[in-house]
Structure 1
Amino acid sequence: MNFVPSISTESTRNLFNSTVFLFFTVATVKLTHSFGRYLLRNSTFASGVSMSSSSSSSTTNDAETLRHGRILSSKLYFDVPITKVPLIYSDSYDIAFLGIEKLHPFDSSKWGRICRYLILDGALEKNCIVEPLEASKDDLLVVHSESYLNSLKNSSNVAMIIEVPPVALFPNCLVQQKVLCPFRKQVGGTILAAKLAKERGWAINVGGGFHHCSAEKGGGFCAYADISLCIHYAFARLNVSRVMIIDLDAHQGNGHEMDFSNDGRVYILDMYNPGIYPLDYEARRYITQKVEVMSGTLTNEYLRKLDEALEVAGNRFDPELVVYNAGTDILDGDPLGRLKISPEGIAIRDEKVFQFARERKVPIVMLTSGGYMKSSARVIADSIVNLSKKCLIDMRQATI
């Protein structure tokens, strides 16, 4: 059956054809317009994504260029006479702040006492010690943001970082002079240590190791990220592309772990007590090789775990520089570390790490880091003497 009525006249057919033509014309125009708007919208979106990506890439490149420029213009790397031993210290390392420094368990005069012990023992001549320069604001900006450094102009923020509440009550100019200036001097020492290690095979900064500080956050008596700074300077100026951090402080090194969270050039071996500060579970995700030692761990068990860890690390990674964070808060009796390692165990531990570097012909930087007993200074000095006796370092004064 045909449901379309017959078209009987020519005029009717013409009217019908005109109507159909008009309908399809309007529909086509609307469709074309809509499609055009769709293409425009999407091309604009695509262009926006491209521009955003390009802008982000450009910003990153600009930041890297600025960082590289700051490193190259820094005065922290300077030539050290061969008559000096690559052991770095300054009298200004020690913190004396109207006795307030004693409110924190950290021995803020241990750095000077280590050197005095070495000199009294006849292991070191005072005139052989290398004195570093203080890290400037431009030096610190290689890792830290402007906003973080500005936050240190507030005494309350510094008080929280160094965990001494009364510091918040003092004018910031005094806090800068008595607290932050000694820290900045130690940062200069850590950075210089990498240059000396590359030249001499080893270097010890009798200070530094502020491993709880990252680019944007301080804490745990650590106001500046000296380990991160040291490594970035090594990348830029020492032709180094692979660095291993061996962190044997009792506490987790959450600062450098956050700073190098996505950097395959840095291998982090962290051997720490998981039941104490900082309990930074996010940073733990970025530890390349995690070795947890529980409270109460004894010397023999500790050294066995260290042997195993060093063997694994040596098989997994081929470093061009080792940064050794040699905290002595693993000592038996340390109120914060809660481990039970003997003084002799500390010396053997340090010997094992230096031997690890020696066997691989890799320069090593040692930092003294944490240690919360008065006995720590003596233990560190004895360990350095042991390294010298074992010919892993050479403390003799060179002659021209």
Structure 2
Amino acid sequence: MKKNTLTALILSTLAVGQCLTVQAHATTQLNVWEDIKKSVGIRDAIKDFEKENDVKVNVQEMPFAQQLEKLRLDGPAGIGPDVLVIPNDQLGGAVVQGLLTPLNLDKEKVDAFTPASINAFRMDNTLYGVPKAVETLVLIYNKDLVAKPLNGLTDWLDYSKKQRAENKYGLLAKFDQIYYSWGAIGPMGGYLFGKNDKGGYNPTDIGLNKPGAVEAVTFLKKFYSEGVFPSGILGDNGLNAIDSLFTEKKAAAVINGPWAFQPYEAAGVNYGVAPLPALPDGKPMSSFLGVKGYVVSTWSKDKAMAQKFIEFINQPKYVKIRYISTREIPAQKAMIDDPMIKNDEKASAVAVQAARATAMPGIPEMGEVWGPANSALELSLTGKQEPQAALDSAVKQIHMQVEAMQASNQ
């Protein structure tokens, strides 16, 4: 009887110990928000991370552009994520509002990413995120109309003139919007914001009317003044007009992003993809770089483990698995030359152009740039105003809007 009692006591003690162990494991967990239909890309990495770190990772999918908005409510309530995914253009507002935790990565790990992609998650020299995927504008051309992409933007202008003589179009692009014309303005000497003494952006130094910017807009104006663009591509419906002409096979090439690949394929266009062409001075066109990145919530209960998770899933072997599953272009330098991407025309073009691109400034003041800049471009390119005068007016307007914005935030 005593023996049975002792045995029961031992078994009971072991059972309690096991319960405590399970409870301990259950409290060591990370909550991760991933983009819609993208968690499959990190599934294998999560399994390995859980084994190596004795931690449970809970994954929830939601649109990446809406995650910060949800974090504002769920974070303070204690039900938010440790790790989430955000677009780089939301970084500035998130940092100002205290939603994110700074990261501390070794130089070797930082250097593994293209400079533009990793810098997209810096604010005043402080790193807040690790790039997950990049997208940017590329040249998309109809292989049945032009055998291979032309090298320079001037070549495309000349080709487009010949096409118009046959009532067809060569290259089409929304140069009346800063998102598309930045590819010429940046490399030719214009800039959005200068730098402050911390290495971040100075929102009071706006360079959209500098000589290089004026020169760039004056060159782009030729596509309009020489009649190679239809008037219908101006304004809000311009992209629809461009897409229609390309899918109807009336235009040989367009400047657009990876989001257009599937619709063009569905329309039966035999298309190829290449990096953007060179500018008149031989420099390659730049573009705005959109970057999705993993960040850590300021309300995370285990910030060190959250950063460890981000570093773990961004090891090369897991990045390859993620690319195969999601087809999102990774930001690591080594992946640009990886045969898996190099031998894929579409992926390679995006990767090469992404390395030439400029991350869109993540500061809140960037929101004040779009309207005035687009208005100035439309006035300039259609000949209603000289480029210098239009850009001067835009810069003045942006200054006023930035000042008003900053005053309202004080």
What TM-score, normalized by structure 2, do the two folds share?
0.24
Work out which structure has the larger RCO, using CA pairs closer than 8 Å and 6 or more positions apart in sequence. 2
What TM-score, normalized by structure 1, do the two folds share?
0.24
